[in-house]
């Protein structure tokens, strides 16, 4: 089975740094995605981690520890437009399966 | 220019009806998916389809059936609609699995309301 946990909501201040955590317990694992979803819109890809460590891409970074079943998304220099839901998803290519967590709704305040 | 398109964007229908949602991708991707996002925003995979190999999430009722006329299209047909089917349905596509290029591109979604 697949179990993916994320905090439901977070609030952070414009210009600050926020870390969104994701823990998973899955029967198969080939990688972990992070997606951003603004209200009423489709999810858009942010990052994909296969190996342990930190992957940096502009203001966004994603970290993975496979032994701990843990990932986080780090958002720096927060902007108001970063207010959105952030979805963690585990992929098991053996079953062509992508399992999403329930998402973390981030609110950025002035 | 749209990478993954879905029609219709909104669909309102009565219980018991049969409806279809169409999805097309012009990215040349090999795998297509259907997701359901409920009112709590939980995104759940329903089907994945890769080179005529269909993988079904075991929790999906058999009233739901994907149909792929060709590699660029994966339509979703729903029979005997129920109130609980009300949700946003997203189509997505991705390149071949197990390659470095893996990200999924989502369509804009179809908001289905069953009354």
pLDDT tens profile B53-85:
787 777 889 999 999 888 899 999 999 999 999
Query: How distant is the Cα of B114 from the closest Cα of chain A, in angstroms?
Result: 18
Nearest to A34 by CA among A101, A108, A96: A101
CA-nearest of A54, A68, A59, A61 to A5 is A68
**Residues A55, A73 contacting (CB under 8 angstroms):** no
Q: For residue A86, which residues of chain B lie inside 8 Å, CB to CB?
A: none
For residue A75, cis peptide bond before it (omega within 30 degrees of 0): no
- Lookup result for tokens 């697949």: A2
CA dist list (Å): B61 to B43, B57, B79:
16, 9, 10
Q: Please indicate whether, in this complex, the C-beta atoms of A103 and B108 are within 8 angstroms of each other.
A: no
| Residue spans of alpha helices (H) in B17-97 | none
The vertex-B45 CA angle with B71 and B94, nearest 5°, equals 40
Q: Which of A3, A2, A98 lies closest to A45, judged by CA?
A: A98
Task: Tell me the C-alpha distance between B91 and B72, whole Å.
Answer: 12
Chain B environment of A93 (Cβ under 8 Å): 97-98
CB contact under 8 A, A96 and B102: no
Which whole number is the average pLDDT over B17-41? 92
Q: Is the pLDDT of residue A41 over 80?
A: yes
Distance, in Å, from the CA atom of B109 to the CA atom of B69, rounded to the nearest integer, reads 20
Chain B residues close to A31, C-beta within 8 Å: 102
Indicate whether A51 pLDDT > 80. Answer: yes
For the segment B22-48, the average pLDDT, to the nearest whole number, is 90
The alpha-carbon gap from B102 to the nearest alpha carbon of chain A, in Å, equals: 8
- Average pLDDT of the segment spanning B47-56: 80
d(Cα B21, Cα A101) in Å, to the nearest integer? 25
| CA-based nearest distance A83→chain B, Å | 15
Of A43, A48, A103, the CB nearest to B106: A43
Q: Indicate which of A98, A102, A103 best probes the interface with B, i.e. most B CBs within 10 Å of its own CB.
A: A98
Note whether A97 contacts B48, CB cutoff 8 Å: yes
Q: Of all residues in chain A, what percent carry a pLDDT higher than 90? A: 77
Contact between chains at B45 and A97 (C-beta distance less than 8 A) = yes
Q: How far apart are alpha carbons B82 and B36 in whole angstroms?
A: 14
Angstrom distance (rounded) from CA B19 to CA B69: 17
Hey, are the CB atoms on A48 and B103 less than 8 Å from each other? yes
Q: Is B100 left (phi over 0), alpha (psi -120 to 50) or beta?
A: alpha
Q: Are the beta carbons of B90 and A43 separated by less than 8 Å?
A: yes
Q: Is the pLDDT at B21 greater than 90, yes or no?
A: yes
Residue A97 and residue B103: Cβ atoms within 8 Å? no
Give the residue-averaged pLDDT of A36-65: 94
The whole-number pLDDT of residue A96 equals 67
Percentage of chain B beyond pLDDT 90 is: 60
């Amino acid at each position: 089975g697949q179990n993916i946990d994320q905090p439901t909501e977070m609030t952070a201040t414009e210009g600050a740094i926020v870390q969104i955590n994701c823990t998973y317990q899955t029967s198969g694992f080939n990688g972990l995605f992070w997606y951003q979803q603004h209200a009423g819109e489709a999810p858009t890809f942010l990052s994909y981690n296969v190996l342990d460590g930190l992957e940096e891409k502009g203001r966004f970074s994603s970290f993975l520890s496979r032994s701990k079943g843990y990932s986080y998304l780090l958002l720096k220099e927060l902007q108001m437009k970063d207010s959105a839901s952030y979805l963690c998803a585990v992929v098991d290519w053996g079953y062509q399966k992508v399992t999403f967590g329930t998402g973390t709704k981030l609110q950025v305040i002035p | 220019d749209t990478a993954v398109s879905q029609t219709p964007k909104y669909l309102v229908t009565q219980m018991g009806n049969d409806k279809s949602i169409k999805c097309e991708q012009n990215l040349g991707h090999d795998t297509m998916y259907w997701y359901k996002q409920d009112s709590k925003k939980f995104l759940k995979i329903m089907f994945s389809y890769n080179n005529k190999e269909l993988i079904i999430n075991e929790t999906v009722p058999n009233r739901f059936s994907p149909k792929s006329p060709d590699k660029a299209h994966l339509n979703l047909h729903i029979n005997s609609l129920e109130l609980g089917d009300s949700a946003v349905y997203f189509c997505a596509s991705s390149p071949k699995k197990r390659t470095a290029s893996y990200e999924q591109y989502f369509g804009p979604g179809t908001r289905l309301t069953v009354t």
